[in-house]
């Protein structure tokens, strides 16, 4: 009996059980903690490795960007009187590109080895960049083409723009032929015509006036437009489908067309990582397209630019050039680069090739374009409420301004055009044309323009030397 009681007491005795339990818990948490620590260390190693790998890519890309900037600048500064001399100097320059330098990053010294490879096609090259951080290496490349356009000018230059040797610096109006002012039309500034005074080329009536000097038989100035450029060729981006917050989808880029004609594509942001081409850019229903050009100059080639009812915004610190093969159509209260500096955007409009059927550019109904335009053969018409806030160059035969005008000082260079101003239309700056008729309270007011800042003229490296140009062929790719 006593033995049974003793056994029960021993079985009920819990002395030391808590210790065993605590030890088991500690062992379990220790194992779990060590596992988590090992996993964390591994993740840190992976994150550091991924960061270094991505940083190496950016170093290689920075080498490409810096070298392309040096290449463009260097090509513009090459002085050569023959094509062979030009390409020989270009090859020599490419062989001695300065290496980019980088600051130390996370205890490592990044480097980028950059060199230029000459391709079989004339003027074609590939710039290659090998980014390296410790044992990480990324290889990138970008293709470009160098062209030579022959002699730029007969007179020495200073390395800046060459807006011809004889453009007027202090004239409000320069015409080859007659100037007819009536019914309150006013020219505030100096006026010149190539015709002699004895043929009475300037007539003033009905309260019109010229508030400035008049020069007859003027022969000092040039009426030659700069050479119209050959349009580059860029890749058409792949089709792109976007979705809104409700899950509705739309093909904003479809078969080479950029379509801002749906509420889903409204406020679409086109990021120009490279130069692009489109068959059509179309905006309707007061929708907005934002073009992000980043911190470098970019270009778009498009067959049809149809801003039927919409707004194109341009963001970034670079400049954008738009080459239009077909037509520019604007309606309603559409704007392009609205409210921004017109120096940010240049537009080239190719001609028809048939002098009897020129193109036309029309702005009316509060349509606004903040850009400089070079139209190969287009007639220009700016109606009431419309406005072109930039320089206009055209080989067209007519320029009509009816109640619209330019808010910024502009250089309108249309040497083959008959200017017609009425309805209170206004121009600030300088106009050059064939002849001019103005009435109805219209005005041309001279404002000084820095001719060296005019677009569309080739760079003049000085002397009887050819002009070089760099054309990027696509974007950056990784080997």
**What is the DSSP track for 227-287?**
PPPPPP--PPPPPEEEE-TTS-EEEEEETTEEEE-STTTTTEEEE-SS-EEEEEEEE-TTE
With respect to residue 400, please indicate whether it lies within any of the assigned structural domains. yes
With respect to residue 17, please indicate whether it lies within any of the assigned structural domains. no
Same domain, 252 and 322: yes
Give residue-wise pLDDT tens across range 229-286: 889 888 899 999 999 988 899 999 999 999 999 999 999 999 998 899 999 999 999 9
Of the candidates 311, 306, 313, the residue with the CA atom closest to the CA atom of residue 328: 306
Same domain, 382 and 303: yes
With respect to residue 33, please indicate whether it lies within any of the assigned structural domains. no
Same domain, 315 and 380: yes
pLDDT confidence of residue 98: 85
- Average pLDDT on 186-214 reads 93
pLDDT confidence of residue 282: 97
With respect to residue 333, please indicate whether it lies within any of the assigned structural domains. yes
Neighbours of 297 (CB within 10 A): 18
With respect to residue 35, please indicate whether it lies within any of the assigned structural domains. no
Q: Which residues contact 256 (CB under 8 A, 6 or more apart)?
A: 236, 277, 278, 279, 280
Give residue-wise pLDDT tens across range 58-101: 888 888 888 888 898 888 888 777 778 888 888 988 988 888 88
pLDDT-based confidence at 120, cuts 50/70/90? confident
Percentage of the chain surpassing pLDDT 90? Answer: 43
3-state secondary structure of 89: helix
With respect to residue 40, please indicate whether it lies within any of the assigned structural domains. no
With respect to residue 8, please indicate whether it lies within any of the assigned structural domains. no
Same domain, 114 and 177: no
Buried b (16+ CB within 10 A) or exposed e, 206-224: eebebebebebebeebebe
Same domain, 176 and 154: no
Same domain, 123 and 175: no
With respect to residue 42, please indicate whether it lies within any of the assigned structural domains. no
pLDDT-based confidence at 399, cuts 50/70/90? very high
Same domain, 144 and 252: no
Structural domain harbouring 470: 51-159+465-478
Say which range, 173-182, 195-204, 360-369, has the weakest mean pLDDT. 360-369
Give residue-wise pLDDT tens across range 334-366: 999 988 889 999 999 999 988 889 999 988 778
Same domain, 443 and 474: no
Same domain, 101 and 225: no
Q: Is the pLDDT of residue 42 over 60?
A: no
Same domain, 401 and 474: no
- Average pLDDT on 32-43 reads 60
| Count of domains forming the chain | 2
Contact of 68 with 127, CB cutoff 8 Å? yes
pLDDT confidence of residue 216: 94
Same domain, 137 and 223: no
Same domain, 100 and 205: no
Say which range, 25-34, 119-128, 282-291, has the weakest mean pLDDT. 25-34
Say which range, 36-40, 140-144, 371-375, 431-435, has the weakest mean pLDDT. 36-40
């Amino acid at each position: 009996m006593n033995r049974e009681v003793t056994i029960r007491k021993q079985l009920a005795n819990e002395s030391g059980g808590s210790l065993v339990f605590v030890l088991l818990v500690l062992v379990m948490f220790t194992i779990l903690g060590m596992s988590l620590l090992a996993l964390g260390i591994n993740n840190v190693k992976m994150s550091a490795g991924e960061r270094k790998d991505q940083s190496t890519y950016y170093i290689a890309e920075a080498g490409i960007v810096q070298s392309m900037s040096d290449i463009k600048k260097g090509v513009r500064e090459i002085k050569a009187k023959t094509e062979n001399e030009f390409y020989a100097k270009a090859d020599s320059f490419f062989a001695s590109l300065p290496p980019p330098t980088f600051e130390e990053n996370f205890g490592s010294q990044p480097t980028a080895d950059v060199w230029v490879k000459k391709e079989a096609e004339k003027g074609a090259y590939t710039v290659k960049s090998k980014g390296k951080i410790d044992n990480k290496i990324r290889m990138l490349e970008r293709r470009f083409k160098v062209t030579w356009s022959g002699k730029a000018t007969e007179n020495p230059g200073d390395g800046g723009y060459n807006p011809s040797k004889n453009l007027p610096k202090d004239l409000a109006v320069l015409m080859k032929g007659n100037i007819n002012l009536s019914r309150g039309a006013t020219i505030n500034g100096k006026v010149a015509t190539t015709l002699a005074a004895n043929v009475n080329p300037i007539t003033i009536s009905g309260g019109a006036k010229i508030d400035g000097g008049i020069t007859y038989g003027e022969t000092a100035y040039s009426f030659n437009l700069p050479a119209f450029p050959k349009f580059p060729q860029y890749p058409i981006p792949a089709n792109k489908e976007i979705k809104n917050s409700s899950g509705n989808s739309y093909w904003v880029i479809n078969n080479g067309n950029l379509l801002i004609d749906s509420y889903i594509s409204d406020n679409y942001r086109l990021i120009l990582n490279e130069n692009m081409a489109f068959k059509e850019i179309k905006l309707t229903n007061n929708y907005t397209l934002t073009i992000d050009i980043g911190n470098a100059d970019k270009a778009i080639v498009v067959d049809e630019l149809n801003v039927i009812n919409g707004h194109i915004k341009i963001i970034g610190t670079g400049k954008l050039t738009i080459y239009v093969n077909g037509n520019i159509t604007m309606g309603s209260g559409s704007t392009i680069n609205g409210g921004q500096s017109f120096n940010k955007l240049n537009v080239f409009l190719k001609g028809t090739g048939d002098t009897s059927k020129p193109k036309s550019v029309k702005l009316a109904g509060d349509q606004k374009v903040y850009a400089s335009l070079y139209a190969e053969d287009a007639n220009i018409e700016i109606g009431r409420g419309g406005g072109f806030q930039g320089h206009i160059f055209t080989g067209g035969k007519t320029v009509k301004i009816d109640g619209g005008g330019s808010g910024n000082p502009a250089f309108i260079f249309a040497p083959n055009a008959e200017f017609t101003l009425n309805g209170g239309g206004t121009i600030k700056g300088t106009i050059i044309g064939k002849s001019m008729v103005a009435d109805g309270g219209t005005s041309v007011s001279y404002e000084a323009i820095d001719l060296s800042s005019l677009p569309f003229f080739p760079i003049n490296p000085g002397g009887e030397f050819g002009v070089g140009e760099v054309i990027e062929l696509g974007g950056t790719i990784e080997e």
